[in-house]
Amino acid sequence: MAASTRPREIKLDGKDPCGLISAQQRAKFSIEREPRPGTSDAFKASNCSFSTKVGVYRITAVTTEGVEAWRSGNRTGKAEEQQPIAGFPAIAVTLPNDDRSCSVAVDVADGQYLYSTAQVDKGKESELPAMCEAARQFAEAAMTTLTASS
């Protein structure tokens, strides 16, 4: 998908992934603990984990590659086109040998994307069966904050 399909560019440089999900949004996703900032080794990017009773949501601000890395096969995973989120192109990503998580990547700028992951704890799969939909809803929440602040 060409960059021109984005309504505008939103750079993620310097954005705090933990700040992209508000307290009100955390309540909607049954997140009861404080967000935990971290770093994704896979993306060499800052991320934030939000724990629930059945798993974890994670937001990663990827600034080291564009979403085309998934589409072109440079990354291991199955990418499926999704409906845009806040007008921005999006893909769902599932990884081989991982049936407990799904991620959604939102193409926000050249060489950057917002990566939202929903992961369910082993044995709790039935409590969050639609992980790709959960990842999408979490990405939508983060994009609401991101588009309002950019």
Q: Residue 101 sits in which domain range?
A: 11-149
**CATH code, domain with 128:** 3.40.1000
Determine the pLDDT at residue 9: 95
Looking at the predicted structure, is the pLDDT value of residue 2 above 90? no
Let me know if residue 29 belongs to a domain. Answer: yes
Let me know if residue 5 belongs to a domain. Answer: no
N-to-C CA span, the chain: 23
| Pair 105, 115: CB distance under 8 Å | yes
Let me know if residue 65 belongs to a domain. Answer: yes
Whole-structure pTM value: 0.92
Let me know if residue 79 belongs to a domain. Answer: yes
Looking at the predicted structure, is the pLDDT value of residue 3 above 70? no
Residue 4 binned pLDDT confidence (cut-offs 50, 70, 90): low
Query: Which of the pair, 147 or 124, is modelled with greater confidence?
Result: 147
Let me know if residue 106 belongs to a domain. Answer: yes
Let me know if residue 143 belongs to a domain. Answer: yes
Q: How many domains does the chain have?
A: 1
Let me know if residue 1 belongs to a domain. Answer: no
H or E segment and range at residue 132: helix 131-149
Question: pLDDT tens across 59-84, in order?
Answer: 999 999 999 999 888 888 889 999 99
Let me know if residue 127 belongs to a domain. Answer: yes
Calculate ∠ Cα 21-26-28, nearest 5°: 125
- Residue burial 95-121, b: 16+ Cβ < 10 Å; e: rest: eeeeebbbbbbbbbbeebbbbbbbbbe
- Give whole-number Cα distances, 148 to 20, 65, 84, 143, in Å: 10, 24, 17, 8
